[in-house]
Structures are given as structure tokens and as C-alpha cells.
Amino acid sequence: MKLKNKIHSLSTLMMLILLILSNLGIYFTFDRTQHKTEYSQLLGSAKELTVALSKMTDEEEAEIILRAYVPPNGALRVVDEEGKDILAVQSMEGFDKKFPIPNKDEQYTIVPFNGYEALSIAIPTIWPTGEVVQLEMTQVLTDLKANLKLLRMVMIGITLFAMIPIIISSITLGRIVTQPIEKLIQAMTASRRSGTFQQIAVPDNGKDELAQLGQTFNDLMIQLEQNYRKQEKFVSDASHELKTPLTVIDSYARLLERRGMDKPEITEEALTAIRNETKRMKEMIEQMLDLARNNEPASYVFEETDIRALVDEASRMITSAYGREIHISGPDQMVISTDETHLKQLCIILLDNARKYSQREIDIRIDEQQDFVRIRIRDYGKGIPAKDIPFLFDRFYRVDEDRNRKTGGTGLGLAIANEIAIGLGTKLDIESEEGKGTEVIIWLPKTLPSQ
Ligand code: ADP
């Protein structure tokens, strides 16, 4: 069943049940109240009769009084202690039947009588002879039956009439809810068929959840398209990048094939080149995998970490591997919540760049700003031209091919650094002056946005 029909039939059914239940409530309350009223009236006249009888001394006089008190549609009976009738009067023919009287714990009894209900009560009284007798009064509830019938008709009429707006509103509700969903389905189907990322029209001033759903869908589509384009570019860039070392390996392999046997110096050169290019490819593939891994938010674990100790360790690694001098200044301890492994990886990437693109010492300064801890990594190398700075975080972006060939760069280091920075909830700033050097600043938030 379609969602529209489900909403339609369910809301109509619920409203119908609600109407029927409230009508039943009203009906039974009215029925009960009416019975109570009839009972009170009958009891009132029975009590009046008792008072009147208490003043009588003559049985014949009492009979006249009794006749005056017979209910319009009912009967009256006086019964002695043994249960024998002393007197029975009725307002109509056929009412001479003995109606059941209530038990001690009941106020009245009701029995069906000729298609109506007969309500009976019994109270003790003193008969003119001085004997204690029981006065039984019965009233046939003809008016009540007519009133209840009228009430039933009115309620059925109201229920049927109320169903018209209920059905109209449930159809409208079904449409309001399902229209945007249908639009989403259409957009998704069209996107799937055409391989594009289609968006849906969302009212500008729409503030409700359905408008939000549409807006979120459009945002999702934009993001999917961006990711798709990024992925596409990455695959084409990666294949292009891998093609170069493969071409070098291939041409040296051919050279070896042709002349390697006669000239040992060529063999030496070819093998060195093949080894270098293989190493470069391996590094590149490892970095690509790193890039994919650092994109996963689940891989970040935030714990109290001493930044100073972490920077000291990263520097030690670079110094012992490349013998480069690194100066660190700042407090001896600086503890914040961050992901130690990823932050260390980020520092190593930046220190490795500083090492690759400069000859002199590297300076690291750690200090505290209002909401951030700042780590500045400064080198005194050739610097980066201002025009290149906006593109440094793009995958495979290199300032100049020749510079990177020599240093063995892949153009992935800063892209990975940027992904890590995003994962750590931080950002990187790069300031550089050509010929003077470069400074990369890591802004680490003291408290994470989600905390
Ligand atoms: P790579 O692996 O080529 O170093 P990166 O993404 O780390 O890739 O760097 C991108 C480009 O930025 C490189 O081509 C390099 O020339 C330039 N670069 C990065 N860091 C520095 C630095 N400290 N000094 C000068 N140039 C740098």
C-alpha cells in the first residue's frame, strides 16, 4: 500500500474510532443519567405517597390515594409481609404483571417490557391497618426510549457529517507528507539513470521538517558530486603520477635488454634508476593509503597529550634520520586533548618538508593563545611563491616539478597534513616568502567543538 494511502486510511480510521468512542461515551453517560433521573422522580413520588398513607386510617381512602399516585405508564402494588398482594393498581391495561423488585443492595431494577424498559422500586410503608407493608412502584420508560433513539440518530448524523472534513484533511495530509518524498524518489531515480547528481526544488521560506529533508538531500547531492569529482580527479592524477616512474622503469628495462649485456655501466645506471623509481612508487602508494585512512573520523582517538613531549619526539626522529638541527622553544609541558598518533604524523610531515626544502636549521615554537595552542614550524629555505600557496593542500600539487624530482616529493604530503588537521579539529596556516623561508602554523583547539 502506498504511503499516501496508508496515512489517509490510518488517520481516517483513527478519527472515526475517536468519534465513535466519544459518541459512545456521551450516549452511555446520557443513558445512565436519565435512568437516575427517572429513579429519583419515582422515588420522590413513592416517598410522598408514604407520607400521605401514614396519615390514613381507612383502607378505602388509601386505595383512592394510591390510584392518584400511579405513574402515567406504570403500576403500583402494596404487598404484605408474607408477599401477598393487598392492593395492585395500574395506569394501563396489561400492567398487572408482577415486576421484579430490587434486592437490598440495589436501588432499582430494570426489566424489558413490551419493547421498552420497566424501572421498579420498593420501599416499606405503614398501611392504614397499622401493618408494615411494601410499596412497589413500576414506571415504563417510554420517553427515555424515544430520547435515546433521537440521540442515536443525531450522533450517527454528526459522525457521517464529520467524516467529510476528516477525509478531506487526511487526503491533504497524505499529499503534504508524500509530495516531497515523491520528488526525492523522482530526483534519485533520474540521478541513478543519468549518472548525475540532481537536486530538488525546495521552497525558500520552508522551515518545516519536509523542507529540511529537501535541503539536506540537496546538500547531500552537492557533497556527493564534490566527492565524486574529487575521487575522479584523484584517480586520474594518481594514474598520471604512477605513469611517470613506470615509463622510466620501462625505458631502462628496454635499455638493459638492448645494451645491458655489453656495457656494465649501463646496467648499473639502469638498476639504480629502476630501484629509485620503484621506491618512489612505493612511497606514493603508501601516501595514497594514508590519505584514505586519515579521512575516517573513527580513526581519531582524543586523549590528554603533552604537546611538548610529542614535538620533541617528532624532532628527534628527523634529527636522527637526516642529522638536521632543530631548535624547540616554548613551555616544558603543554597538555591538551588531541590524537597523539595523528598529531605526531602531522608534525613529521611538516618537519620533513622543512628539511627537504631548506638547508639550515629548523625552528619550532610552541605557545598558548586564548583558545588555541600554536605550534609554528619555521625553516630558512627557498620558500614558496605566493601564487602557489592557495593550492598547496591539493593532492599531487607541486610548486615546481624539478624541485620535487630532486627531493623525491609526490605532492601528497600537505594534502595528508590537511586531512589530519581536519580530523584533529584544527587548521593549518602557511606563511612563506621566497628566498627567506616558510612557516607552517598548527592551531590546536584547547577544547574540541564537540566537547
Ligand atoms: P611533496 O611530497 O612534493 O613535498 P607536499 O604536499 O608536501 O608534497 O608539498 C607540496 C609542495 O609544496 C611541494 O611541491 C613543495 O615544493 C612545496 N613545499 C612544501 N613545504 C615546503 C617548505 N617548507 N618550503 C618550501 N616549499 C615547500
How many angstroms does the Cα of residue 399 sit away from the middle of ligand 1?
7
Burial class (CB in 10 A: 0-12, 13-18, 19+), 198: middle
Nearest to 50 by CA among 75, 69, 72, 73: 69
Round to whole Å and give the CA distance between 48 and 58. 18
The grid cell for 181 is 518524498
DSSP state of 326: E
Round to whole Å and give the CA distance between 138 and 75. 5
Residue nearest to atom 20 of ligand 1 (CA): 353
Residue 450's pLDDT is what? 54
Contact between 3 and 178 under an 8 Å Cβ cutoff? The reply is yes
Residue 431's pLDDT is what? 96
Residue nearest to atom 8 of ligand 1 (CA): 411
CA distances 217 to 4, 177, 184, 227, 296, Å, are 21, 16, 8, 15, 22
Mutate to test the pocket of ligand 1, among 280, 356, 428 (most ligand atoms within 8 A of CB): 356
How many angstroms does the Cα of residue 348 sit away from the middle of ligand 1?
13
Residue 307's pLDDT is what? 95
Give the max Cα distance, the chain: 159
First to last CA, the chain: 45
CA distances 96 to 75, 84, 143, 150, 261, Å, are 7, 14, 21, 30, 138
Query: Which atom of ligand 1 is least distant from the CA of 393?
Result: 6
Residue 335's pLDDT is what? 94
Residue nearest to atom 13 of ligand 1 (CA): 398
Each domain of the chain, given as residue ranges in start order, spans: 3-151, 209-290, 300-445
Residue position matching grid coordinates 631548506: 358
Mutate to test the pocket of ligand 1, among 398, 433, 441 (most ligand atoms within 8 A of CB): 398
How many angstroms does the Cα of residue 411 sit away from the middle of ligand 1?
7
How many angstroms does the Cα of residue 408 sit away from the middle of ligand 1?
10
For domain 3-151, give the fold: Beta-Lactamase (3.30.450)
How many angstroms does the Cα of residue 378 sit away from the middle of ligand 1?
13
- Domain covering 209-290 assigned CATH 3.40.120.10 in the classification: no
* DSSP state string for 90-105: ESSTTTTS-PPPP-TT
CATH hierarchy code of domain 300-445: 3.30.565.10
How many angstroms does the Cα of residue 389 sit away from the middle of ligand 1?
10
Round to whole Å and give the CA distance between 330 and 309. 11
Chain centroid to CA 200 = 22
Residue 401's pLDDT is what? 62
Residue nearest to atom 2 of ligand 1 (CA): 409
Chain centroid to CA 267 = 67
Residue 439's pLDDT is what? 97
Phi, psi dihedral angles at 333 (to 5 degrees): -145, 140
Q: What is the pLDDT along the chain (451 residues), one digit of tens a residue?
A: 888 888 889 999 999 999 999 999 999 999 999 999 999 999 999 999 999 888 888 888 888 888 888 888 899 999 988 888 888 888 877 777 788 888 888 899 999 988 899 999 999 998 888 889 999 999 999 889 899 999 999 999 999 999 999 999 999 988 888 888 888 898 889 988 998 888 888 877 778 888 888 889 899 999 999 889 888 888 888 888 888 889 989 999 998 888 877 888 888 888 998 998 898 889 888 888 887 776 676 678 899 999 999 999 999 999 999 999 999 999 999 999 999 999 999 999 999 999 999 999 999 999 998 889 999 999 999 999 999 999 999 888 888 765 556 666 788 899 999 989 998 998 899 999 999 999 999 999 988 655 4
Contact between 122 and 133 under an 8 Å Cβ cutoff? The reply is no
Mutate to test the pocket of ligand 1, among 399, 401, 407, 436 (most ligand atoms within 8 A of CB): 399
The grid cell for 149 is 433513539
Name residues contacting ligand 1 (CB within 6 A): 353-354, 357, 379, 381-384, 392, 397-399, 403-404, 409-415, 438
Contact between 137 and 71 under an 8 Å Cβ cutoff? The reply is yes
Query: Which atom of ligand 1 is least distant from the CA of 410?
Result: 2
Residue position matching grid coordinates 648499473: 268
